[in-house]
Structure 1
Amino acid sequence: MLHVDDLTVTVPGRTLVDGVSFTLPAASTLALVGASGSGKTTTALALLGEYPPGARVTGRVTVAGRHIDSVQPPPPGTVGFIPQHPATALNPVLRIGTVLRQIAARHGTAVHEALRKARLPGDRDFLRRFPHQLSGGQQQRLVLAHALLADPSVIVADEPTTGQDAVTRAEVAAELSGLGIAVVLLSHDLELVRELADQVVVLKDGRVVEFGPAVLDSPRTEYAKALVTAQPREPEPRAEPDVLLEIEDLGAGILREVTLDVTRGERLAVVGRSGSGKTTLARCVAGLRPWSGGAIRLAGRPLPQRRDRTDLTRIQYVFQNALASFDPHRAVVDQVARTAVRLRALPAPTAREEAAETLAALGLNRDAARRRPHALSGGELQRAALARALLARPDVLVCDEITSGLDPVTQAEVLDLLTDLDVTLIVISHDLPLVARIADRVAVIHDGRLVEHGPARMLGRPARRVLLPAPDQ
């Protein structure tokens, strides 16, 4: 079904993929795993005949008996692709049903069957919605429905559970396992890989270091062992400090009368299913969206809906999709430096030097910092996004699923960086084990309401019932 033979992809100054080979039979799942920058995405995009600009490619890729390269890409529908961030693949101005019918007409397939396989409703109300009216999990399943309408031989799924809660993750896993076609899975979610993959390819610096059905259970190389065992350091207990941030009876969109506080230097995790209101709460705190009722106070002073430079400086937001938050045409170090110029009025040369030093402290050297965003791995971009926020010297740092889509080693490194920061943290996450390791306290949001709030070590049954799938899922 799928054959990759000695694939090598080089760009000036770097080898992205070096002699990668594997075979995937029909109706099987193969997982590509490895740290950020290991070559997973370059390998996966080769199946679609897509390569970085100026790349030199050798080797051979064959899908369903067809040779695939940049000159001869696969015919439409041969390979389906599910991106890590589904919203980027959805047309925001067309209704869901309109796009589905257009794709179905092109390929001669049935909309209702694709929706059934993707576990989405097919009623008129759903089909008349726009993509922004769906939760993240529904958007992911809609992109899957688009791919299925083309009747593909292979589906490439790039981090399909990134940023999804445990219930949605279980649903996505069930959808992918029940497709009956070949699936190439790119994932840092090793439990998902264990659940779905028949074969696992471990990549490091563009090379295959392990390949087989039981790689994650019995890793042989030190690199694979590090991926499996990587864990962030446990947070140290904190003395009870004074209250820094107060949220009182907050209402905004789905949010209903949410009241909680965050103490100075604390790490608060806000958890809940997709669409529960977590990100709405975080954006209100950061001044990125208005609220309809209640109040937010910082150090006892009410924060206005429209923030001035001082208020923007004191609360900074790090977005889940780091790539989308950067200008693709400018060097990363210049964009990071812009924070210090704009919010702290530093001269541009001083700000650029401070940006370079901060990036280096977070593990991004000066050579990497001078690149444009698309030339960095996901883990490198997330470090850059973190550096950009830190250059404001904030009192509160809001991190929205910033470890989603990172491999276990990079995730542990980023979490260790967060725990070492002298700043109050609000972390948005679906990952309960991660929350237990990094957070001092947890706020559980469900259907727009605060259903539990307390120490992370005492996360109770109500929270777990909200966040975890039922036993039969």
Structure 2
Amino acid sequence: METLMQVHNVSRTFHLGGGLFSAPQPLHALDDVSLELKRGEVLALVGESGSGKSTLSRIMLGLDIPTSGSVLLDGKPVESFGRKAFAGLVQPIFQDPYSSLNPRKTVRQLIEMPLVVAGRYSAAERQRKVRELLGILRMPSRMMSAYPNQMSGGQRQRVAIARALISHPKIVICDEPTSALDVSVQAQVLNLLMELRSAFQLTYLFISHDLAVVEYIADRVAVLEKGKLVETASVKDLFSAPQTDYTRQLLASALTIPQVDASPGPVPGVSRPIS
């Protein structure tokens, strides 16, 4: 399988505190992390709170710069892409859809924003693309004029997904995308993400602390412990024969796999991405 994104020996150090009589203290959020994200796969990134998952995702999104090391997309350093060009190729879906959506913007404005920023298409064409994408995500076109506070948590997360997909990215970085949702809604969103992966030929980095969800959705798993990558393996190998004590501890605390088959059925029109 072809490698799409490479993380080479990435470290990230923050300096905290300090004052008149004391120097700032270093915090090593990431320590010499290397991994590959292969085209079309779902790579799960797991670890306890503070393990460095979010720091690594921000670096892979181009929102933070590593202290040392490099990140390549299609073999090219991410800094060689313009900010707008890179944002069109790598998009995020965040944990809390309510806080990640501007409450003063309508659904249409929220979803079309990446196209507006990139200066792509006319207003009428953007509206058509938003309407078609909402249909794929099982949301009626009348929702285009709604605001985030008028929608349920599941609907808001669908808007966040639509906003991520509208520019046809290669990679979507999902940072705990279902943890703020009810269990039944989690299952529907997980199934939707899997269907969209196939339809849009997406590659996912899926960040989660829930190993039950990881076992369902991921192809491979990378385990972070205190900023260090301690294990990378296929889902089958990691769950059947973990190689480190830390991974075994994570597995021991995992919950029962949720009822991920709660989706109401195939996504209408999901067999083809929007044109």
Pick the TM interval, shorter chain.
0.7 to 0.9
Cα gap change, 1:464 to 1:451, in 2 (>3 Å): same
**Structure ranking higher on relative contact order (CA contacts 8 Å, 6+ apart):** 2
CA distance in 1, matches of 2:167, 2:65: 22
Describe how 1:15-30 pairs up with structure 2 within 5 A.
none
CA distance in 2, matches of 1:369, 1:418: 21
**2:107·2:148 contact (CA, 8 Å) conserved in 1?**
yes
- Aligned residue pairs: how many? 230
Match of 1:452 in 2: 231
CA distance in 1, matches of 2:165, 2:8: 27
Shift of 1:410: 1.7
Match of 1:210 in 2: none
Cα gap change, 1:412 to 1:380, in 2 (>3 Å): same
Match of 2:269 in 1: none
**1:289-324, CA deviations, whole angstroms, 9 ceiling, x for partnerless residues?**
121110000111111198521111111111112111
Q: Which runs of 5+ in 1 are unaligned?
A: 1-240
Question: What SS is found at the alignment partner of 2:79?
Answer: coil
Match of 2:90 in 1: 315
Match of 1:438 in 2: 217
TM-score, structure 1 length as denominator? 0.47
Shift of 1:408: 2.5
Match of 1:248 in 2: 8
* Ranges of 4+ aligned residues in structure 1 off by more than 4 Å: 466-470
1:289 counterpart = 2:68: no
1:339 counterpart = 2:114: yes
Cα gap change, 1:281 to 1:311, in 2 (>3 Å): same
Question: What SS is found at the alignment partner of 2:178?
Answer: coil
CA distance in 1, matches of 2:81, 2:11: 16
Q: Which amino acid aligns with 2:142?
A: D
CA distance in 1, matches of 2:184, 2:119: 34
CA distance in 2, matches of 1:338, 1:296: 26
1:429 counterpart = 2:177: no
1:263 counterpart (38, 41, 45)? 38
CA distance in 2, matches of 1:469, 1:370: 43
Q: Which amino acid aligns with 2:10?
A: L
Q: Which runs of 5+ in 2 are unaligned?
A: 14-28, 255-275
Structure with higher Rg: it is 1
CA distance in 1, matches of 2:105, 2:78: 33
**2:96·2:180 contact (CA, 8 Å) conserved in 1?**
no
Q: Which amino acid aligns with 2:8?
A: E
The CA RMSD over aligned residues, in Å, is 1.8
Shift of 1:457: 1.3
CA distance in 2, matches of 1:302, 1:464: 35
CA distance in 1, matches of 2:156, 2:91: 17
Shift of 1:413: 1.6
**1:397-417, CA deviations, whole angstroms, 9 ceiling, x for partnerless residues?**
000000112223221221112
Describe how 1:362-373 pairs up with structure 2 within 5 A.
362-373=137-148
1:379 counterpart (123, 147, 154)? 154
Shift of 1:458: 1.4
**2:231·2:243 contact (CA, 8 Å) conserved in 1?**
no
Question: What SS is found at the alignment partner of 1:304?
Answer: helix
Match of 2:170 in 1: 395
CA distance in 1, matches of 2:53, 2:251: 13
Cα gap change, 1:307 to 1:291, in 2 (>3 Å): farther
Question: What SS is found at the alignment partner of 1:328?
Answer: coil
CA distance in 1, matches of 2:114, 2:32: 33
Q: Which amino acid aligns with 1:330?
A: K
Match of 2:181 in 1: 406
Match of 2:260 in 1: none
Q: Which amino acid aligns with 1:256?
A: D
Cα gap change, 1:362 to 1:464, in 2 (>3 Å): farther
Describe how 1:146-225 pairs up with structure 2 within 5 A.
none
Shift of 1:353: 1.8
Question: What SS is found at the alignment partner of 2:48?
Answer: coil
Match of 1:358 in 2: 133
Match of 2:53 in 1: 278
**1:421-469, CA deviations, whole angstroms, 9 ceiling, x for partnerless residues?**
2211000001111101100000011100001101011111531314654
Question: What SS is found at the alignment partner of 2:194?
Answer: helix
CA distance in 2, matches of 1:289, 1:374: 30
Question: What SS is found at the alignment partner of 1:398?
Answer: strand
CA distance in 2, matches of 1:429, 1:334: 29
Calculate percent identity across the aligned residue pairs: 36
**1:367-419, CA deviations, whole angstroms, 9 ceiling, x for partnerless residues?**
23321011111111111001001011101000000011222322122111211
CA distance in 2, matches of 1:394, 1:464: 35
Shift of 1:344: 5.8
Q: Which amino acid aligns with 2:66?
A: W
**1:245·1:261 contact (CA, 8 Å) conserved in 2?**
yes
**1:439·1:456 contact (CA, 8 Å) conserved in 2?**
yes
